[in-house]
Structures are given as C-alpha cells and as structure tokens.
Structure 1
Amino acid sequence: MKTNNIQNPFLEESSFERTAKLRESIAAYIRRWPIFLISILFFLFVAWLYTRYLTPVYESKIKVLIKDSSKELGANMLLSNSGAQRAMFSSLNDEVEIIKSYQLVQKVVNNLDLSNTYIKRGKVIDVEVYKNELPILLKNFTPDSLIRTTSMEIEYNLPKIKITSGDVTIDTELNQAFKINKQSFSFYNNPHNNHSTVGSFTVISAPSNSLINRLKNGISIDSEYYSNVITISLDGANTNKTEAILAELVRVYNQDAKKDKSLEFEKTEEFIEERIAILNRELSGVEGEKETFQQSNDIANLPSEIVGSIEKKDQLESQLLQLDTQLSLANTYKSYVNNQSLSEVLPSDISNSGGNTNSAVSTYNQLVMERNNLIANGATSNHPIVKNLEASISSAKQNILTNISKHQEVLRSTRRDLTSQLTSASGFKRQAPTFERIARDIDRQQQIKESLYLLLLEKREEAAISKAITEDKIKIINPPSSTGPVSPIKSRYYFGALALGLLLPLAGIYIKELLKNKIETRDDLEELINGKPIVGEIPRINTKQDKYVAVRGDLSSLSEAFRIMRTNLEFVISKIQRDTSKAVVILVTSSIKGEGKTFISMNYAHTLGQLEGKKTIIIGSDIRNPQLHKFESLEKNIPGLTDYLYHENDDVEQYIHTSKADNKIDILFSGRIPPNPTEMLMSLRFENLIKELQEKYDYIVIDSAPLVLVSDTYHISNLADVTLYVTRSEYTPKNVLRVPLEAEEKNRLNHLTFVLNDISTAHSGYAYGYKYNYGYGYGYGLKNRKRPFHERLLSSFGINLKK
C-alpha cells in the first residue's frame, strides 16, 4: 500500500501561524530587554546591599573519638579471668544525647560566663567579640531566676567606666558594684587581655535558660560510618567563642565521665573490702577446725601410699572444688544484690553467671545513676520519671537475681553428677580412714577460702590502680577549628536576585499581555473584525514632529504609509458598484476621541491630491469637536459647514478654502459649533451639498464624529461609498469594535474598512524604520538605518522585534 505524501496546505499554514505567534511572543519579551536589565541590576544591587549588612556566621568543628567504655569499668576486672567477658560498647546515640544534654551545656555556659554577650559597634555591621578580646568583663551578681535581659553601652577610660542603658547613665569604676534594671553588676579586669585602656562596646546580659536551649539546639553532631569518631560542630559569629565552647564541652563531658567511673570504682573497692574481711574470719575458722581435728585425733599426716589409688578421685574432687567455688561466689553475689537499695550501683558479676548477667548489671547501674542524677537535680521520689526508673531498676534487679538462680541450678546439677561419679570412683577405698575424709573436707574449705581471699586482694590492687589512672572518655583527634563563613552564602542571594530580576519582569509582561484590552498590532485587529479589509497601517510620528502638519509628496515612511492606504482603498472602491461619473465619498470615523481620525482624514486627502488630474475636498463634519483648522493654523470658529447649513441662501464656494500645504486640496471646515449639530447633519441641505460637490470633485473625504460617542455619523453614513474606520494602536479598546461591525450588519455603514493608526515600529508588520527611496535607476538607493546588535542577532534566528 502506497503512502500519500501530499502535504495538507492548511496544516502547513497552521504550523506557520503557530511558529509566527511563538516568535511574536518571544519578541514581546526581548523587545523589553532594558526592563530585564534594569530589574536584574536592581535586585543584584539589593542583594549586595542586604548581604553587606548581614553578620557573617562561621562553622567551628572538633573531631573526637569516644573510647570503648567497657574496657575501663573497674568492676569488670573481677571477671577478667572468667573467659566469658565480652567487649561492651556504649551506644553512640546515647553518648550523643549526653553531649547535647541540658546539664552539660549548662555547665559550659556557667564555666565560660556566656550569659554576657559583647558587641563592637561598626560603621557597617556590629560584630560580636569574645570576652578574651576585651580588657574588662561584666559580672552579674543577680540570681539566674531574677535576671532580666539588659543592654548596656559601655565607654571606658580605665579605671573610669561610663554605662548607658536606655535613659539611665552611670559612672563607675573597676570592681565597683552598680545597679541597673533591678540587678547588681560590676566590671573586673580581664587577666587574658590588658592591652587596651580606652574604648567602647555593648554588652547584653540575659538569663542563661534561653541561651542554654539555643546553644543546645545549635550543637550538631555527626558520626562516621561504623566508627566511634564523631564531629561536633557549632555555628557562630565569633570563632574564638564557638571554638572555646566546643573545647569546654569536651572537657566537661570527660569530667562527668570520670566522675561516673570513679563512683563505680569506689563501689567495687567497698565490696572487695567487705568480702576480704568476711573471708579472713572464715579462713581463720577453717584453720582452727583443722587444728582441733588433728589434735583431738592425734593425726600428723595421712598415708602417702593411697595417693596413687585416689588420682581419679582427686581429679573429680578438683572439679568439685571449682564448682563449690563458683557456687559460693554465686551465693555471695546473690545475697549482696538482694540486700542493695535502689540508690546504690552494683559491682560487676563475680559469679561468672554469663554475659546476660553482666549486661543486666550494666543496665541496672545505668538506671540507678540516672535516678540518682534526677534526685540530685531536685526531683523527688514521687516524680513520674523517678517512679518509672525505680520500677525499671526493680525489674532489672529481678532479672539479675533470676540469671544468678539459673546459674546456681546449673552448678548444683553439675555437682550432683560429679558427686555421683566420685562416690563410684571411691568405692575401692572405702576402707580408708574416716579421718581422711574429714581432713580433706577441711582442706577443701580452706583452699576455697584462700583462693577467694587471694583473688580479692589481687582485684583490690587492680581497682586501685585503675582508679588512679582513669583516662578521658573522649580523645580529641582534631582540635577546634573554624571554616567559613557558612552564612550568608552570597552566591545564593545573587542567584535568587538574578532569578527574581528575571521572573518579575516575565510575570509582569505576561500579566500585561494577558490582561491587555487595547489593539496593538494588525493581528489584534484582524482577530476582531471578521475578515474586513485593513487598508493601512500608519506609523507613529516622531514626538518632535508636529502632528498637525499634513504629509507631502516626499519619500518618508509616513507618506509611504498613506500612499499604501490610498492604493488599498482604491482597490476596495474599484470593487464597489457605484456611479463612476460622480466623486467617491469616503467617510472617515472612529470609535472614540483621540484615535487620530482627523489626522488620517487630512493626510489621506493630501495623498489623494497628489494624483494627477484628481480634485479632492475634505469636509469637517465633526462639528461638535472641529480639528481641521489646526492643520491650516487657523482659528477654531472659521466659517465652514455649519455656517453654510444654517444660511440657506449662501453659496458653498464662499466657505471652501484651499489648503496651504497643497493647493490641489480644498477644505470645508466645520464652522462654528451649533446648538443642534445632529439636526443640521440630518437636514436635506447637507445631502444636497454632498451631491453638489460630487459633480465638482473626484474625491470627497468626510471627517465625521466618533461613532460610539454621538449619533451624528449614522445620519450621514448613507451618503458615503466607503467607510474608513480609524483605530489607534495601544489606544482603541478591543470591545468597541463590535459597534461598527453591528452597524454594517444593520446597513448603517457602507463598505466598512479599517486603518490602524499610530503603530510603533515594535508592533508594525512593515519596516517603517527604513527610508523608501525607490530609485529604479534614477540615482536613488535604499538606505537602511543601522539596527542595534541584539536586533541583528535575533533576526538571524528568525525573530523580528518589529512583529
């Protein structure tokens, strides 16, 4: 099947029209490039001015490593030989919350005395300074709950100080107390800066609560992937201040961490000392029992010959010894845990119950310390959080006891098995003296007590050493440093200004184009007149040019436009069925005043007068607002049409004047303004006048009144062969054009044609900016004006700014 390759001409035309409209839409914006340029420059200037007065903000950072706290817990040293200890890493998220906690930040604020803010006044912007940059500092003696924000202007010439706060002015000296705003203050020497003795600054004293919350929210902490390395950052206007805050925050955190560790070490030492004292008494008792047994039974030593026979039994007894040791530790630790109050932390599990017990003890101790911190900060036992913590502590304690009980049950079960095996293995030695069994029981008890005693002595020394060499929990990797400024980012402001400078004109032009209700271009007119002919486009005259001067037979763009209009009208007239022996009557009218109707009438008449052998007369029938006399520089009340219509016996010739600009043109001025203009134009005498002039002239141009304002034109429109309807670019409302169209439909206007007046070069479809010097071999050439670069550039892409 063959494909039809014939293109539809209507589709081609539609595509061409769309392309033309697109180019015209683009040209509407490009024509206004100065507006865009001015807008962009204005907003860029505003952005520059705005950022100039913004205080720069810098970012300070410190990179630290949070060490593995599980390796430094003193209580865990008791379990180092158990083989069940595993590494315990504190939750990084918990550490981050601790670093940003209100309590820690409060200590930083108090230690650095951040409740006072010092500001140096500048010519452009005010700059915050840190206390180390000033020779004197402010001390507020008022309790924090009573502090109110107070701003003071300080001028000093040490030791004299002048203070201004609002309407209050105080003269004081260093270390001398003064009162402002019901608060007590004094200034003291800064030991870190004593270079300047004269100067001024502003200090703002404020309550620490708001500052703490603001600082707490301003601290940002980022962690590295799968690492305990974190970066703490803080933004501020003064890098010395923010770096000091970060350094102090790390110091305070380490100080609190050491305090918590020391508390746990102290509890471990206390527990070990208690157990050593108990074991010392128990060991003495076992040794005394052994001595009594040997003395009462006169036994010095057991026979060595049975050693070989009981090797297996010894192995089992060794295992029983270990089990008994673990059972004793479990019983002791369980008893200790059971007797501890809710406010005391526990030592780590010494019974080797397993990792679950160690984890439970760690959780229990953390909950106890949180409760103790709340109680220390003023919370009561009835506080909801305290109650919740106590409930959690009880639950954790029960969990520990449960784990220990399970471990004890496992040990007892294992011991029963070993005891059964020992009984079986010892059957062949049943003949051994009862004294052997009793002696070994005593020795076993003595060995248990001695091993526990030596273990506790070793752990006591290790705990003491660890307490003495406790390290910081945070290790500084990179000390505090600052970068920036991070705000304001001027490029963002400039980009925003550039975007705003483009978008606002775009939006304004778009809205203007969307809402415009005036005719601007030929296309606008064509869309409204339903295919009626447009016979001319008259370019806008130079503002220096007198609009009342008629065109001459030169080669100017204005004259050329009228000649084109004349040619087009001649074509329209040639299609009209009329009596060719009589003059053509052209009625010139418009919608409203100010559209250039008389200007068009006069110049069109002069253009007709340039035709060889043709006589033309123009009649000023706009007798309510006569304008023709201005083109001839005559008085307004010069006798004319109204005088002729009023004096029935007068001859029209006595009222006809020859134009000063062109003696081929005759003019019948409007005359004096009558009280009854409509009745005069409706008179038979006016109709007879037109018939009489048709016999003498070739063209009669009637300059009539605007159609929308008065009804005068309707009464004479039937006398015209052609109606030339004048519209004005950027002036004539679109909605008034339905009036002439409806009038023609009702046969109240004859052969309606349109002309677009005062069209600018930007809206013209013709290059009126050129001189039309058609030499055709007579020495004349086409002279083009020098077009701007942007017009020549865009024309290469098919965009004509004159469209």
Structure 2
Amino acid sequence: MENNINKAHMDKINMRKEITKYLKKWPWFILCIIICGAAGYTYLRYTTPQYLAKTQIILKDDSSKNSESVIFKDLGIMSTAGTKSIENDLGILRSRRLMNEVVRSLNLYIQYYIEGEFNDIELYENVPFSIHVMGFDENLLKQNGGGRFEVWRSSNKIYKIKNLQTGRIKEEEPGNTIDLGFAQIIIRPRENNRDYEGKTIVQFSEINKIAANYRNKINFTQADENSLLIGIELTDPVKEKARDILDQLIMEFNRSAIEDKNLIAGNTFDFINERLAIINEELDSVETGKKIFKQQNQLTDIHAESQMFIQNASDYNKKRQEIGTQLELSNAMLEYISSNSDGNLLPSNLGLSEGGVNDQIDEYNSLILDRNRLLAGSSEKNPMVIKLNSQIDQIKANVVQSLNRARSNLLISQEDIQRQASSIGSKIYSVPTKELQYRGIERQQSIKETLYLFLLQKREENSLAMAITEPKAKIVDRAYFSDYPISPNSRSVYMGTFILGLFIPFSLIYITGLLDNKIRKRVDIESMASNIPLVGEIPKMKQKLKLIKSNDRSVLAEAFRILTTNLQYLLITKKNKNSGITFLVTSTIKGEGKTFTSINLSITLANTSKKVLLIGGDLRNSKLQPFVINKSQKLGLCDYLADDTLTLDCLIQKSSLNAHLDILLSGNYPPNPYELLKTEKMGVLIEYMQKDYDYIVIDTAPSLLVADTFLLTKFADIVLYIVKAGFTDKELLEFPQRAKEQEKFSKIAFILNHVSKAHLGYGNNYGYGYGEAKERSWSKGYKSTVFDI
C-alpha cells in the first residue's frame, strides 16, 4: 500500500516537472501561436470560399404497387422504362453523358472572370454581357490549347476581344457574329450593364473537362439502404451556379427517363399500325366475299331449322375465335422477332394469354435500354455491355421458345375444338352446303373484326401512355444554397492554427529533450549516478564569472557556502580530526571548471579565517599564476618534486585573493609529470601541509585524459568531481562510477557547475538569489578578477 502511494506521488511529481519544463518556454508558445494565427488569417483572407448547394429528390420505384401503377397495368401500358433499382438510378445521375448535357444546357464551358487583387473572381449572374454560341468545335479548342479572351466595351460602344494567348484584338459591334477560330459567338450587352466598360476575362473550356470536374464534386447521400429519398450536394465558389447545376441535373435525368419510356411506346405504336393495315385488308376481302356469296346465292336470312344446331356450335366458334386470335398474335410476334435486329425493342402488352411471355418481353426491353445507356458512354468491349448482350440473347431465345410453345398449345387446342365441332357438324349435315359456306365466311369476318378492334384499343392505350410524361424523380426540395461558405471554415482554421502553434514548440522541446545528451541539472546526475552524492551546484552567470570577494552576497558566493556546508557532513567520519582536510578537484575532460571551482572554494574557505592552501596539481597546464602576489615567481610543485634543494617555504606564495589563502603553483612544465607525482616526496608534502593548513585544495588534471589524478586521490579526504551543465555528455558519468567501483576514488562527490537559473536547485522554485546584494556602479573595495570557465 505504501509503495503504491509513493509511486503515485512520484508520478505526480514527474508530471509536474514535465509540465513545468514546457511552461518555462511559454514565450515560444506565444510566438508560435501568433505566427500560426497570422498564417491562418492570411489563408482565410486570400483563399476562395466554397459554398454548398443542396437538393432532395424521391426516385420513383417502377415495381411499387401504388394506385397509379395498378391503373396503368390494367390498361396494359405498365411502363418498363427506367432502371430497376436505386443503384442504377444513381448510376445514371452520376453518368458522364448526363453531366455533359448539363454543361451544354447551362453553357458552363464558358466562364467569366474579373481580375482581383490576388485571384481572379468568377462572375455568373452579374456578367455585363451575354454570349450566344452559334457554333462550337471542341477539337479546334483542344488544338489551340484552350481559349482565354479579355473582353471590354470601348467608349464608342464597340466590343474589343483580345486573345490572351496571341495578343490579337478584334473589334465588333454588339449583335455581330465573331469568329474565334473554334467557335462563332454573338455578344450583346445586358440591360442593367449597358454602360459597363470594365474588362472581363472569358474562358472557353472543353465540355468533357468541365463535366468531369463537377461529376467529382457532386455528392449523393441516401437516408438508408432501402430509402428512395436521395440528397444531392455540390460545392462551388459560385453558389448560384451550384444551385442551377443541381436543378438542371434533375431536369436532364427526368428528360432521359421520359425519352426511354416514349421509345418503347413508339415502337409499339409502329407495330400496331402495321398489323392494323394488314388486318384491314383481310377484313375488306372477307366482307367483299360475303357480299358476293349472298348475291350469287340470294341469301337474306338463316333458315329456322339450322338455328338450334348453330346455337350449339356457337360456343365452339367462340373458342375457335379466341384461339385464332392468339395464334395470329403469336405468329405476328415470331415474324416480328425474326425480321428485326437484336438492338430493337419488342412490343409489349399486346394481350397474349401466355403471361410468362409478357414478363420476358418486359425484361428483354429493360436490358436493351440498360445496354444502350452504357453504350452511350463506352464501347461494345465493356464487360457490362458483354454481360448484358449475353442476357439479352438468352432472354430473346426464351421469348421465341415460349411463343413456339404457346403456338403449339394453341394448335392442339384448335384441333380439339375442331373434333368437338365435328360432332355438331354431323347433326347439321342436312343443312345446305351454301349455309355452311356462309357460316364459314361469317366466322372469318368475326375473327378479323375482333382482332381489328383489339388492335385499335391497344393503339389508343399506347397513345395515352405516350401522352403521360411522368417524371422519374420527384423534387422534394428545389436546389438552395447557404449564404455562408463551408470552406474555408474560419473556426476550424483558427483552431487548427492554435493547435499547430502549441504543437510546434511542444514537439521541438520534446525532440530537443530526446536528442539532448548533455548534463543540465541535478536530476540528470541523480538519476544516472545515484551512488555518488551531489554536494553543490554552481550557477551560471549572465556575464563572465567573477571570483568571490569578502562579504560577497551574490548567488555565486552563496552557492559555494552551501557547497562547503555540505562537505562538512561528508567529513564527519574523518578519523584524524587534528590534520588538515584535503580536497582534490578533478573532472572527466578539460573545460569543465576545475580551476574556477578550486579557486572559489579556496576563497570561500579562507573567508572563514581558516588557513587554506591551493595547490596546482595539474603539472601539464598551470592556471594559478595570475592569482599570486609575486607573479614573477614561477617555481612550484613540479620544481619541488624534481629538485631536492628547494624548500616549500620558498615555493608557497601569498595569494592576491585573500590573506588566509596561500598558493603552491604547479611550476615549470616537466617532461615526466606522472613519474614526479608518483614519488614518495609528494606524500611527504601533503602530510606536512596538513599540519600547517586547515584546508588543502588540489587542482588536478582531467582524469579521463591523463593518469596523473589517480596518483593524488590517495591523499584526498574527498574527491570533488566537476560536471559542467550543458557541456558534459551524460555518457561520461559512467567514468567516475566505474572509478568508484574499482576503488580508484575512495570518497567522491559531484559538483554541478555552470547551472542555468531555470535548472538551479529544483527548478528555481524556492527563492533563487534570496538576499542577493545588488551591484552598484559606485561600489568600492576589492576589484574582482574575471575568470572564464
């Protein structure tokens, strides 16, 4: 339980630290938000707005059983025009052919612009003149690479047309035909813009390209999968144009559906007229024969004795008439099918008693219409066309087979009726032959009259079907548009730029943190080298750092006071309390502030009235020469170790920094510094100095570069290992840790140097620079020496 609480507490602290890391960079966030906001404003200012136009329609289902469709089915004129599913209707609405018709009807291939400050502004309803196209050749337009003209009206009311590609200018009066090469046009001024003399750019484009552009922009929505309610949307910079395109699209769709319906009715009308002409001739022939027969045989009425037999035979005659009519229709249909090409529609609803044949004919006609629509925008090699051709051939074969089967059944029925009629005929055998012949003539006349009247009725019904032009799509809402643009959306743009303004600095800070391999704050050391204590943090100054002076209340002085205090806690376990304390100052590489730390640490200790000796232990690079009083004296440690005649009393010098601070310079550069430091004389020197001084501070060489430092660690009570913030790589912390594990450093502590104000302590949240004395231009006293770390 306690572990969970500690973990939650640590997570909270880590989260707070992460947030604080970004909050410290708040000026960057504000700057990026301002820049991104300005970019968003510029985008909104100069981007062409897009407007949305909408409309709604209901596609009528041909298979629906509403009252209107039932009435037409009873009349035998149930139309099979149009598609059988909502997907097919949507396919027609999306078709290239239909959109091409819309472009032609609205002259959308002619666009009008006026020059704007940054972009051309398209005109639609407020064009200052009208252009009537008398002839238009797309091929020539394509060869010319398009047609772009500048049109304006001069002071004498003459129109000037400048070809922007060639620079040629034509002048014509309003109403005259103008030859543009690919088109002949007539320009007339509009009533409300007769005096307008500004320049207008007229752009002629290919119809297919304009149609393809709007096809891609139109969006169709369906309430649900089975709904016939279709929403159509179109976005365009000119909202009035988008509205007109949607209205024209629905108009063209309805016109196409009506044309398909009238095409079937027209073919049926032609077929009925042909049959009526043939039946009329046959009926005239029968009536003429009847008249001649009656004249030759002087017949006026049927004998009474034949009435009874004829009455019995009348039922059979009626059946023979019905069968004869059906045979005539079947033969006529078979003859029509055999004499017409595969691409023609078949007459429907002629009254065939075989119901399956009528359904097959309806299906055949529907497939013919679907194939013709596909062929309007593709070729015979289209897989859908090939598939439809296969289905058409199969259904046609089924129709022929069904008609032949129906005709065979009718012939069988006719033979059966003949056999039954023979039994009646035997009873009227005594009836005179002339009477029988007369009845035969009347039967022929009745069959022809029945068929003739039937075809007349069908022709009227078909004419009625042609007269009724019911639209395929019922308009629920006419096209309308919003007065506010949908794109660009200012709210979305500003929200996006705001998020982008936050994301850019956030990502840069985050990526910089991931790629940063430098030690920057105490947490970096504590997390990577927790087995070595951190006893002090030396702040980074705004300018070059000054050395500490007496009664100094600066942040730098306070940092070294805290350092010396922390060192006291590490020295509690020191065995010999009477000898001086030895600090060895080193680092991993050069430039991390060893000498700077050694001098200021020595000054801080000396300010407590303790005797302090600062030894230049780096025999390869002497840096303490500027801080002694006698700068001409250059002998030091190296000379003492190499020359037995020299004594320490003549080598140790008073410093110019503090009266309690003495300095032993490193001396002249030796050829063998490692061998000198390895001698026993070095141990004797340290032991002797520990009796005379309270503190001994040894400024040594970088421990990673040379082995000199490891020879001196055995004399040190504490090894102060300098790490420079923003300079030392994190991976270099492995070196002092390995050295401690190998017992090369008996007692080691880190000092973090050059720490920025933001990273000092725990993020400078607890009174950075508390009690710091402000520098004044008239301050007197010790003139601090500037030292570059």
| Normalised TM-score (structure 1) | 0.79
Tell me the secondary structure at the aligned position of residue 246 of structure 2: helix
Partner in structure 1 of residue 218 of structure 2: 219
Q: What do the CA deviations read for 1:141-189 (whole angstroms, capped 9, x no partner)?
A: 77322324346462624335363636x4333323689999x86787723
Partner in structure 2 of residue 455 of structure 1: 454
**Separation in 2, partners of 1:716, 1:77:** 114
Partner in structure 1 of residue 736 of structure 2: 740
**Is 1:678–1:711's contact at 8 Å kept on the other side of the alignment?**
no
Q: How does 1:746-765 map to 2 (within 5 A)?
A: 748-760=744-756, 762-765=758-761
**Separation in 2, partners of 1:652, 1:42:** 68
Q: What do the CA deviations read for 1:251-309 (whole angstroms, capped 9, x no partner)?
A: 44444444444444443332222222222222223223433444455443235577678
Instruction: Quote the offset at 1:676 in angstroms.
Output: 5.0
**Separation in 1, partners of 2:704, 2:360:** 98
Instruction: Quote the offset at 1:575 in angstroms.
Output: 1.7
Instruction: Quote the offset at 1:249 in angstroms.
Output: 3.1
**Separation in 2, partners of 1:242, 1:86:** 33
**Separation in 1, partners of 2:500, 2:622:** 50
Tell me the secondary structure at the aligned position of residue 570 of structure 2: helix
Partner in structure 2 of residue 302 of structure 1: 302
Which 10-residue stretch deviates more, 634-643 or 39-48?
Answer: 634-643
Which 10-residue stretch deviates more, 475-484 or 423-432?
Answer: 423-432
**Is 1:519–1:731's contact at 8 Å kept on the other side of the alignment?**
yes
Q: Which runs of 5+ in 2 are unaligned?
A: 773-789
User: What one-letter code is carried by the residue in structure 2 that aligns with 1:700?
Assistant: I
Partner in structure 2 of residue 4 of structure 1: none
Partner in structure 1 of residue 587 of structure 2: 590
Q: What do the CA deviations read for 1:401-456 (whole angstroms, capped 9, x no partner)?
A: 22222333444455555566666788877766666655444333222222222233
**Is 1:620–1:670's contact at 8 Å kept on the other side of the alignment?**
yes
**Is 1:60–1:481's contact at 8 Å kept on the other side of the alignment?**
yes
Q: What do the CA deviations read for 1:217-236 (whole angstroms, capped 9, x no partner)?
A: 33333455555554443332
**Is 1:40–1:500's contact at 8 Å kept on the other side of the alignment?**
yes
Partner in structure 2 of residue 118 of structure 1: 112
Aligned in 2, Cα 1:268/1:89: closer, same or farther, shift over 3 Å? closer
**Is 1:623–1:677's contact at 8 Å kept on the other side of the alignment?**
no
Partner in structure 2 of residue 173 of structure 1: 171
**Separation in 1, partners of 2:530, 2:594:** 22
Q: How does 1:8-27 map to 2 (within 5 A)?
A: 17=10, 20-27=13-20
Instruction: Quote the offset at 1:215 in angstroms.
Output: 3.0
**Separation in 2, partners of 1:372, 1:754:** 90
Aligned in 2, Cα 1:394/1:152: closer, same or farther, shift over 3 Å? closer
**Separation in 2, partners of 1:304, 1:552:** 162
Instruction: Quote the offset at 1:586 in angstroms.
Output: 0.9
Instruction: Quote the offset at 1:698 in angstroms.
Output: 0.8
Aligned in 2, Cα 1:757/1:28: closer, same or farther, shift over 3 Å? same
**Separation in 1, partners of 2:720, 2:696:** 12
Partner in structure 1 of residue 208 of structure 2: 209
**Separation in 2, partners of 1:637, 1:141:** 107
Instruction: Quote the offset at 1:520 in angstroms.
Output: 2.9
**Is 2:620–2:670's contact at 8 Å kept on the other side of the alignment?**
no
Partner in structure 1 of residue 406 of structure 2: 407
Partner in structure 2 of residue 705 of structure 1: 701
Q: How does 1:294-373 map to 2 (within 5 A)?
A: 294-303=294-303, 313-366=313-366
**Is 1:137–1:188's contact at 8 Å kept on the other side of the alignment?**
yes
Q: What do the CA deviations read for 1:663-690 (whole angstroms, capped 9, x no partner)?
A: 4x31316477747593796377766554
Aligned in 2, Cα 1:16/1:151: closer, same or farther, shift over 3 Å? same
Partner in structure 2 of residue 194 of structure 1: 193
User: What one-letter code is carried by the residue in structure 2 that aligns with 1:169?
Assistant: G
**Separation in 2, partners of 1:357, 1:192:** 62
**Separation in 1, partners of 2:340, 2:231:** 40
Instruction: Quote the offset at 1:766 in angstroms.
Output: 4.7
**Separation in 2, partners of 1:194, 1:772:** 76
User: What one-letter code is carried by the residue in structure 2 that aligns with 1:118?
Assistant: Y
Which 10-residue stretch deviates more, 25-34 or 239-248?
Answer: 25-34
Which 10-residue stretch deviates more, 710-719 or 268-277?
Answer: 710-719
Q: How does 1:725-736 map to 2 (within 5 A)?
A: 725-736=721-732
**Separation in 2, partners of 1:187, 1:284:** 60
Partner in structure 2 of residue 3 of structure 1: none
**Separation in 2, partners of 1:233, 1:108:** 15
Aligned in 2, Cα 1:526/1:397: closer, same or farther, shift over 3 Å? closer
**Is 1:552–1:559's contact at 8 Å kept on the other side of the alignment?**
no
**Separation in 1, partners of 2:735, 2:384:** 84
Q: Does 1:576 align with 2:574?
A: yes
**Separation in 2, partners of 1:748, 1:389:** 92
Residue in structure 1 matching 2:91, options 83, 91, 97: 97
Aligned in 2, Cα 1:134/1:667: closer, same or farther, shift over 3 Å? farther
**Is 1:677–1:712's contact at 8 Å kept on the other side of the alignment?**
no
Q: Does 1:127 align with 2:121?
A: yes
Q: Does 1:656 align with 2:649?
A: no
**Is 2:178–2:186's contact at 8 Å kept on the other side of the alignment?**
no
**Separation in 2, partners of 1:84, 1:187:** 47
User: What one-letter code is carried by the residue in structure 2 that aligns with 1:758?
Assistant: H
Q: How many residues align?
A: 755
Partner in structure 1 of residue 785 of structure 2: none
User: What one-letter code is carried by the residue in structure 1 that aligns with 2:692?
Assistant: K
Q: What do the CA deviations read for 1:545-591 (whole angstroms, capped 9, x no partner)?
A: x62231655666554443332233223223234x4332111111222
**Is 2:606–2:661's contact at 8 Å kept on the other side of the alignment?**
no
Residue in structure 2 matching 1:59, options 44, 52, 73: 52
Instruction: Quote the offset at 1:59 in angstroms.
Output: 2.6
Partner in structure 2 of residue 516 of structure 1: 516
Tell me the secondary structure at the aligned position of residue 486 of structure 2: strand
Aligned in 2, Cα 1:624/1:118: closer, same or farther, shift over 3 Å? farther
**Is 2:57–2:477's contact at 8 Å kept on the other side of the alignment?**
yes
| Normalised TM-score (structure 2) | 0.80
**Is 1:638–1:672's contact at 8 Å kept on the other side of the alignment?**
no
Aligned in 2, Cα 1:629/1:118: closer, same or farther, shift over 3 Å? farther
Root-mean-square deviation (CA, aligned residues, Å) is 4.6
Tell me the secondary structure at the aligned position of residue 547 of structure 2: coil
**Is 1:302–1:436's contact at 8 Å kept on the other side of the alignment?**
yes
**Is 2:613–2:664's contact at 8 Å kept on the other side of the alignment?**
no
Residue in structure 1 matching 2:661, options 657, 666, 669: 666
**Separation in 2, partners of 1:461, 1:440:** 32
Instruction: Quote the offset at 1:628 in angstroms.
Output: 5.1
**Separation in 2, partners of 1:639, 1:140:** 108
Tell me the secondary structure at the aligned position of residue 341 of structure 1: coil
Tell me the secondary structure at the aligned position of residue 301 of structure 2: coil
**Separation in 2, partners of 1:77, 1:15:** 76
User: What one-letter code is carried by the residue in structure 2 that aligns with 1:115?
Assistant: Y
User: What one-letter code is carried by the residue in structure 2 that aligns with 1:724?
Assistant: L
**Separation in 1, partners of 2:270, 2:763:** 106
Which 10-residue stretch deviates more, 418-427 or 298-307?
Answer: 418-427
Partner in structure 2 of residue 787 of structure 1: none
Instruction: Quote the offset at 1:701 in angstroms.
Output: 1.4
**Separation in 2, partners of 1:141, 1:223:** 40
**Is 1:56–1:486's contact at 8 Å kept on the other side of the alignment?**
yes
**Separation in 2, partners of 1:31, 1:641:** 48
**Separation in 2, partners of 1:119, 1:675:** 88
User: What one-letter code is carried by the residue in structure 2 that aligns with 1:114?
Assistant: L
